[in-house]
Amino acid sequence: MPKRTNIFTTTALLAGASATNTPISLAIPQTPPQGASIPHSPSYTSFSFEPAFWVEFFGNATSPNTFTFNAINTLYQHGLRPRIRPGGITMDSMIFDPSAGNPVRTTNADGGVYRTTVGPAYYESWSNFPNGTEFISTLNFGNDSLDIARDMAVASVKYQGPHIKFFEVGNEPTNYPPSRWENSTANYIAQWQNWTAAIDLATNNASHGNWWASSATTDETPLHVRPADLIPLGIDSTQEVAQYSIHSYAFATCDPARAALATTLNILNHTGLVEYADQEIYPSAKAALDAGSQWIIGEFNSIACSGNPNVSDTFAQALWEVDTELIYAVRNASATYLHQGATLVFQSNQQSNSAGDDGSPGFSTYDMLYPISSSKRGAQRTLPGFPGLLFLAEAFAVEGTRVVALETPAGLSEDHFAGYAFYHNERLTKLALLNLTPYYANSTSDFTASFDIGSLTPRSYGRHFPRRQAKVKRLTAPHVDEKDSSKVTWAGQSFNGGVGEGNVVVEQVGKDGCVDVRGSEAVLIFFDGDGGKQWGGKGWWPWGGKGWGKAWGGGW
């Protein structure tokens, strides 16, 4: 074996230069350093869909929405194995009626949803997802009727039992009427434990020990039920909790004051995103991890109350997705459920978004796709955020991938740079470099930063150990405010119709070892020599090959 240790021992990220156009040399440990994240799975990027709009997104059991499923299959082909949570505010007024069919909304003229009624066909439609997809059975806590919640749990187990991974009762209890638990965390816990026990009985223990707990927002409310509040008061004394869920929305258009802050500059401010994660989310994450439990972002997106047009429906959303999910991956979230839906009229009477014509769905501008054509949002299509999910799909495609955040190299702005190293089987396998500087048509610079990764692909140790190779896939668009998905690309392809168009472009790193990243661009760098199996696939992977499909279901 050649001696190689001294080349790889640098732990700090070295800064090669102060000017961004001089290559910045990156020296990153070849094995996971102390504090590297837990091993992540290809389900790390998962989804939450507002159940009231289920039929718009997914069609029904016999006529699936092929556009949405094509898009989901594209994510799947790139390595994603998302879990599906049909959850959100409308799960708290959802009821199961054995004589009903597909989900039906009961609404007022402005599109306000009072109730969503589902029958067996709703659960049957889950079978249209890719084989192996797992679901969260979400139960109504809002109506304060154990019968309603229990009937839903029993129906979900009857129709989709083997595919249900977790159960969740109640969405964002922080927002319930204060009279419900008289602002008392203990009262909340008592009812939660009472219901989970009763539902376990009714499901013959299908739900036993498989519950999500909390599902709180980070809003300041009189009822304190974040995981950090529930854990010390013994929420898990009945050993029901499988994962602690918290919802992450750092920005909002729910009222004018917050809408003014929901800007491109702010959602791409890495410093601000990290501050929110550390101040609002991490105390609950730490409480869960210290209790020996997993924690998840059970629902999140860039801008609460359905996004901000011209911000969340632009390429900025793709960059925000990548950075936000990696921030939580480093903090050991076991999964992040990106929320999809439409404006909920009752959510806030000060919000800037509204429903569509005649109360039809006004799809959220943070959605990855508009599932049907509508007068409010135009043609059925993916949004510019979609390719960001392909970046994440490939970043986490290999089961057991661990992540480390890089320090900001000298000369780059902490607000605008984010870098992450990925490890598998104790080896550096990938590197993500994000240049979040907003780049507009009127910008006077394109803010390109050049990174020298030559030290990560050391020269040959002899003929048995040739130089490691590095290949690059790029997430880019003409400008940060691009709204046309056909101009947003991941590895050279665009995805407006939910499937790849154009040729896959995988860049070789040249002899100088340098990779340029323009303002408002991100790259995923793949190193070879990782045991090989994950490089299979139908052309998605830098090294080509076959057998990707075998990966699902295990073995590596």
Ligand X SMILES: *[C@@H]1O[C@H](CO)[C@@H](O)[C@H](O)[C@H]1NC(C)=O
CB 508 within 8 A of CB 555: no
> CB-wise, 209 or 458, nearer to ligand X?
209
Amino acid identity at 474: R
**One of 205, 279, 375, 503 touching ligand X (CB under 6 A):** 205
Nearer to ligand X, 265 or 291 (CB): 265
Q: Which residue is nearest to ligand X (CB)?
A: 222
151 binds ligand X (CB under 6 A): no
Which contiguous run of DSSP H or E holds residue 471?
Answer: strand 470-476
Closer residue to ligand X, CB minimum distance, 213 or 515: 213
CB of 157 to ligand X, least distance (A): 13
Reduce the DSSP state of residue 401 to 3 states and report it: strand
| Other Cβ atoms within 10 Å of 329 Cβ, number | 27
Site for ligand X in 290-319 (CB under 6 A): 309-310
Q: How far is the CB of 71 from ligand X (least distance, A)?
A: 18
Question: Within 379-438, which residues bind ligand X (CB under 6 A)?
Answer: 415
Q: Which is nearer to ligand X, 163 or 473 (CB)?
A: 163
Q: Are 169 and 202 in contact (CB under 8 A)?
A: no
**Residue with structure tokens 């104790």?**
426
Candidate residues 93, 137, 210, 312; the one interacting with ligand X per rule CB under 6 A: 93
CA dihedral 318, 321, 322, 323 (to 10 degrees): 120
How many CB atoms sit inside 10 A of residue 347's CB? 19
Q: Between 470 and 509, how does the x/- string for binding to ligand X read (CB under 6 A)? A: -----------x----------------------------
Tokens of 86: 């049909």
Q: Which two tokens stand for residue 501?
A: 């168009």
Amino acid of residue 419: G
- Give the whole-angstrom CA distance, residue 57 versus residue 68: 6
Using CB under 6 A as the binding rule, whether residue 62 contacts ligand X is answered as yes
Return the number of the residue (264 or 496) whose C-beta is nearest ligand X: 264
- Among 304, 248, 321, which residue's Cα sits nearest to residue 45? 321
Residues 111, 108: Cα–Cα separation, whole Å: 5
CB 108 within 8 A of CB 40: no
Measured from the CB atom, the residue of 101 and 545 that comes closer to ligand X is: 101
The count of residues interacting with ligand X (CB under 6 A) is 41
Contact flag: residue 258 with ligand X (CB under 6 A): no
**CA-wise closest residue to 368 among 428, 317, 410:** 317
> Does 9 help bind ligand X (rule: CB under 6 A)?
no
Q: Which of 161, 186, 232, 275 binds ligand X (CB under 6 A)?
A: 275
Sole window of 1-9, 95-103, 249-257, 459-467 interacting with ligand X (rule: CB under 6 A): 95-103
Count CA atoms closer than 13 A to 221's CA, side-chain side.
22
Residues within the interface to ligand X (CB under 6 A): 35, 37-38, 59-60, 62-63, 93, 95, 101-102, 114-115, 131, 142-143, 178-179, 182-183, 194, 197-198, 204-205, 208, 222, 265, 269, 271-272, 275, 289, 309-310, 331-332, 415, 440, 442, 481
